[in-house]
Structure 1
Amino acid sequence: MDLDTVRTFVAAADAGQFQEAAVELAITQQAVSKRIAALERTLGVRLFTRTPRGAALTIDGQAFLPHARELLRAAERAVASVRTGRRALRVDIIASRGAASGLMRDFHGAHPEVELDVLMLFDIESTITAIRSGSIDASFRAVTVPGRPLPEDIASVRVNDEPLELLTGPAHALAGARSVTLAQLTGHRIWMPGIVPGTEWAAYYDDLVAEFGLTIEATGPNFGSDALLDTIADTPALATFMGGQTRLVWPAGHGLRRIPITGPTPVYPHSLLWHRDNPHPALATLRTYLATVASHGAPGTWTPDWANPK
């Protein structure tokens, strides 16, 4: 199958107009029409119908579109298989201050010869799409969320358990504690405005609440970590959870307390995700490095059942 015709079909489907597809592909509208016609002859079906607003996919066109996208992704991976050594390793770390960022800094220190591009995507669906398309090589995520198993072409390995800590202001009832148990947190308000429904971290905290009867409030907009720290410092009734490997800096006057949690210690399970066919040589180097520093499954810790596949 001619990949130029497939690429033209996808461009026209996304644009909804042959003229816009022509502009995107830097060819004439007539060339777009000819390529679509050639693809329709190859498949033996109509892919588009003309509408007053442009071109709409037929039922056959809708059925063919996801396969067309996969054909283009396969072509990109084929090209990347002989060019991967010429570009940086692209890794998604979710947040610049989190545990994954620290792992990648340490990896860079151990392997300064590996050129890196560090990105921060939002949810696991976007991440998987990026991994499958080849736009990133790997990502640090929590898997597998119930009801959403990873696609068969996506591999994962658990590389790091990050212990949660309680973060309080100086006037909080638990501010003077050297450590707290999860049972002691019952009845206290844990404010976490960054929890977004449908994300893997939302699934994690839902299970934590269900298991230990905690009260986690996700109300209000998320104005970032600085605003969160300001609120926790000024509000005696509120505390929040913070990853023990998350780097934080706050004004000296805030008097914030980072308190270890025990009995058990809840840990957030970070896994590395990658495409099974990704040939980038530095990806193998990263996986080998992480295998040597991996830390997970320690006694006295808690993770959701879905983070511990049998």
Structure 2
Amino acid sequence: MDLDTVRTFVAAADAGQFQEAAAELAVTQQAVSKRIAGLERDLGVRLFTRTARGAVLTIDGQAFLPHARELLRVAERAVASVRAGRRPLRVDVIASRSAASGLMRGFHRTHPDIELDVMMLFDIETAVAAIRSGAIDASFRAVAVPGRPLPEDIRSVRVLDESLQLLTGPAHALAGARSVPLARLAGHRIWMPGIVPGTEWAVYYDDLVAEFGLTIEATGPNFGSDALLDTIADTPALATFMGEQTRLIWPAGHGLRRIPVTDPTPVYPHSLLWHRDNAHPALAALRAHLTATATGHDATGTWAPHWVTPH
């Protein structure tokens, strides 16, 4: 059923005259008459009786009027549900304790009036597909892995270079160091069971290993960060890498150490991805916030893979 015709019917019923309805709708009186006549043909009933004083609803017209009003209300709600700015901004942060999650918390503190839906998607292919389908508005990822360029309709901007730190237990050989040169980690066992082959962070650590001769082990099941911290605390031979802005909480008795890595400092590059045609006003606000709060990239004394998007 054509909504303009239904809207014309409601306007004519409220005005009681086709001429006044035409003026309200900014169309001709002839157009109003044609729309009403077409609606009557579709319904198979007369909706109005013409009198010297105007147009009066028939019994069928009176029965149809409340349903016509509801049709227009439903249509308005449907449009409002997808109108730019009327729904929450949906952003993928990968994990709740990640640096990306921290960036979104900072955005929320600055813009508490913007409604957010925070998502956690695992791999970049899923995230990009969700951006292209409109299921999400943006995602934080490292781009662009060799052999997997972003689609042409996906835009990105680099928003954070997160320094890696070495996490050790209290009995580890490096536990007392205030900082540790990257080259000194050669020969030490670095355990990272959360690395999944094919992910962007797996490619990142593969390049780090190749560049500096490190040993990273991804053996064993990944029981999550709590189990990882328990193992690192109890095993003097193991250490792990952790992002500087990754939020961690552990029992006081663990005695874990977060040690800066230097000469160079490996940084994990976080970029924001979005669809070029996404007009959600909160997305523009998020991009502006991240641009304003971003620090410099490729700083002296840091390392990132050659494939990282430079801007």
By how many angstroms is 1:248 displaced? 0.5
CA distance in 2 between counterparts of 1:127 and 1:89 reads 15
Which stretches in structure 2 are left out of the alignment for 5+ residues?
Answer: 1-78
Tell me the CA shift for residue 279 of structure 1: 1.0
What displacement does 1:84 show?
2.5
Aligned residues: 232
Hey, what does 1:59 align to over in structure 2? Answer: none
2:182 — aligned with what? 182
Contact 2:161 2:270 in 1 (8 A): yes
**Counterparts of 1:86 and 1:244, CA distance in 2:** 35
SS in 2 for 1:128: helix
Could you list the runs of 4 or more consecutive aligned residues of structure 1 that deviate by over 2 angstroms after TM superposition? 79-82
The one-letter code sitting in structure 2 at the alignment partner of 1:282 is A
- 1:219-276 alpha-carbon deviations (Å, 9 max, x no partner): 0010000000000000000000000001111001100000000000000000000000
Q: Matches of 2:162 and 2:82 in 1, distance apart?
A: 37
The root-mean-square deviation of aligned C-alpha atoms, in Å, is: 1.4
Counterpart in 2 of 1:94? 94
The equivalent of 2:209 in structure 1 is 209
* Aligned equivalent of 2:281: 281
2:156 and 2:214 map into 1 onto residues whose CA distance is: 30
Q: Contact between 1:140 and 1:270, CA under 8 Å: does it hold in 2?
A: yes
What amino acid maps onto 1:104 in structure 2?
M
Q: Which residue of 1 aligns with 2:16?
A: none
TM alignment of 1:3-152, pairs within 5 A: 83-152=83-152
Shift of 1:297: 2.1
CA contact (8 A) 1:166 1:258 kept: yes
**Which residue does 1:196 correspond to in 2?**
196
Aligned partners of 2:82, 2:164: CA distance in 1, in Å?
Answer: 42
Indicate conservation of the 8 Å contact 2:158/2:309, yes or no: no
Aligned position for 1:169: 169
Q: What is the one-letter code of the residue matched to 1:299?
A: T
Alpha-carbon distance in 2 for matches of 1:255, 1:225: 16
CA distance in 2, matches of 1:297, 1:87: 36
- Whole-Å separation in 1 of the counterparts to 2:175 and 2:82: 56
Contact 1:163 1:265 survives alignment (8 Å) = yes
Match of 1:266 in 2: 266
Identity of aligned residues (%): 81
How far 1:80 sits from its partner (Å)? Answer: 9.3
TM-score, structure 2 normalization? 0.73
- The CA distance in 2 between the partners of 1:222 and 1:126, in whole Å, is 21
Q: Within 2, Cα distance between the matches of 1:167 and 1:126?
A: 30
Task: Rate the CA distance shift 1:157–1:81 in 2: closer, same or farther, 3 A.
Answer: farther
SS at match of 1:279: coil
Question: What is the TM-score of this pair, normalised by structure 1?
Answer: 0.73
Query: How far apart, CA to CA, are the structure 2 residues paired with 1:201 and 1:255?
Result: 27
> C-alpha offsets along residues 22-54 of structure 1, whole Å, 9 cap, x if unaligned?
xxxxxxxxxxxxxxxxxxxxxxxxxxxxxxxxx
Amino acid at match of 1:179: S
- Which structure would you say has the larger Rg? 2
CA distance in structure 1 between the aligned counterparts of 2:85 and 2:259, rounded to whole angstroms: 45
Q: What SS is found at the alignment partner of 2:307?
A: helix
State the shift of 1:113 in Å. Answer: 1.0
Is 2:143–2:309's contact at 8 Å kept on the other side of the alignment? no
Is the 2:158–2:310 Cα contact (8 Å) retained in structure 1? no
Residue identity matched to 2:138: A
CA distance in 2, matches of 1:181, 1:221: 29
Question: Which secondary structure does the structure 2 equivalent of 1:86 belong to?
Answer: coil
CA change 1:281–1:210 in 2 (3 A) is same
Q: For residue 85 of structure 1, report the CA deviation from its aligned partner.
A: 1.7
Amino acid at match of 1:126: T
1:196 Cα deviation after fit: 0.3
Distance in 2, matches of 1:176 and 1:232, equals 15
Task: Sort the Cα spacing of 1:226 and 1:306 in 2 relative to 1 into closer, same or farther, 3 A.
Answer: same
Instruction: Confirm or deny: 8 A CA contact 1:81 1:280 kept in the other structure.
Output: no
Could you tell me which amino acid in structure 1 is paired with residue 289 of structure 2? Y
